[in-house]
């Protein structure tokens, strides 16, 4: 098997998810920088050869391309089972996936600037839209995490899972980009602070530009 190629950009939260998993599993890979600020992901070449949806991340393995971060995380778990990111029991794996889906489909897309811009051209109204959907998602997430990890460090007890890979960038964006008041979410913040100490999480931080 050839080295996987990750198409990513340092400010992409979805890329950060995958980079955490790759680092945790110690998977050697190459990086292809796709500058989403310059709309490189929307170029005809990228969309024809890599991802027709014009999005990142994408993972190329032996000529096959996998798009969408959750699909990539599932693939990595199946092909690289060492240092797992999913629990052993089926119900536990389902709960981890539930957390991933809540964030990846119920929060992150709705806070995307392109989505908010379709809602309104006014900055204040776009921010209201964004804060509403992040808060709505975090209210549910806080309750779930108090069940799945009442006394744990991470989203599901004390073992790193794909849920943690997905949670980190979302909370980071809520704090750094949108200045959201995180006071109502002590469990989320406790987990986030624990995760931010991990080397695999630090590696994917937006401050660490790709090359």
Fold of 90-200: Glutathione S-transferase Yfyf (Class Pi); Chain A, domain 2 (1.20.1050)
What DSSP state is assigned to residue 107?
T
Q: What is this structure's pTM? A: 0.94
pLDDT for 1: 67
The single residue listed with the structure tokens 């990595």 is 76
Q: Give the chain's mean pLDDT.
A: 94
Provide the 3-class DSSP secondary structure of residue 194: helix
Establish whether the linkage from the previous residue to 161 is cis, with ω within 30° of 0: no
Q: Using 50, 70 and 90 to split pLDDT, how confident is the model at 124?
A: confident
Distance CA 130, CA 133 (A): 6
β-pairing, 58-61 with 64-67?
antiparallel
Residues in the chain: 211
Residue 204 has pLDDT above 90, yes or no: no
pLDDT for 95: 98
pLDDT digits (tens, 9 = 90+) for 132-173: 999 999 999 999 999 999 999 999 999 999 999 999 999 999
pLDDT for 201: 96
% of the chain beyond a pLDDT of 70: 99
Q: Using 50, 70 and 90 to split pLDDT, how confident is the model at 119?
A: confident
Task: Please choose, from the candidates 202, 88, 138, the residue with its C-alpha nearest in 3D space to the C-alpha of residue 146.
Answer: 138
The domain locations on the chain are: 5-83, 90-200
Topology alike, domains 5-83 and 90-200: no
Fold of 5-83: Glutaredoxin (3.40.30)
pLDDT digits (tens, 9 = 90+) for 10-45: 999 999 999 999 999 999 999 999 999 999 999 999
Look at 37-41, 90-94, 180-184 and tell me which has the smallest mean pLDDT: 37-41
> Count of alpha carbons within 13 Å of 15, Cβ hemisphere only?
26
């Amino acid at each position: 098997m050839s080295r996987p190629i990750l198409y990513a950009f340092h400010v992409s939260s979805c890329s950060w998810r995958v980079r955490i998993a790759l680092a945790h599993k110690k998977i050697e890979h190459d990086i292809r920088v796709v500058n989403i600020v310059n709309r490189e992901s929307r170029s005809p070449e990228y969309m024809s050869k890599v991802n027709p949806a014009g999005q990142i991340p994408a993972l190329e393995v032996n000529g096959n391309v996998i798009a969408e971060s959750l699909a990539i995380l599932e693939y990595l778990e199946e092909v690289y089972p060492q240092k797992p990111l999913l629990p052993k029991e089926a119900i536990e794996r389902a709960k981890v996936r539930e957390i991933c889906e809540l964030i990846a489909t119920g929060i992150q897309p709705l806070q995307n600037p392109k989505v908010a811009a379709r809602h309104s051209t006014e900055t204040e109204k776009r921010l209201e839209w964004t804060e509403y959907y992040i808060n709505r998602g975090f209210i549910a997430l806080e309750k779930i995490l108090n069940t799945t990890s009442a006394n744990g460090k991470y989203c599901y007890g004390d073992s790193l899972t794909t849920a943690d890979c997905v949670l980190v960038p979302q909370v980071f964006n809520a704090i750094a980009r949108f200045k959201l008041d995180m006071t109502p979410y002590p469990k989320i913040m406790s987990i986030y602070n624990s995760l931010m100490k991990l080397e695999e999480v630090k590696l994917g931080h937006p401050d660490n530009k790709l090359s």
